[in-house]
């Protein structure tokens, strides 16, 4: 219910970092590196936020 706070953000970054592909998360026109905990936290995604996930490469 707290949205994308530290623990789930860290889980996403840890999982994404296992892959060679580039991973981006977009919210409200802001596109960030999904493998960066600082980037993911910058989104300040609240519960119900619409996120667009983009993967490029292998």
Altogether, the residues listed in the chain come to a count of 58
Catalytic residue among 1, 3, 4, 5: 5
d(CA 48, CA 1): 9
Would residue 5 show up in a list of annotated catalytic residues for this protein? Answer: yes
**What residues act catalytically?**
5
């Amino acid at each position: 219910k707290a949205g994308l706070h530290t623990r789930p953000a860290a889980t996403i970054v840890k999982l994404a970092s296992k892959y060679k592909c580039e991973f981006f998360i977009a919210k409200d026109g802001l596109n960030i590196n999904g493998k960066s905990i600082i980037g993911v936290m910058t989104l300040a995604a609240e519960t119900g936020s619409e996120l667009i996930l983009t993967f490029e490469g292998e």
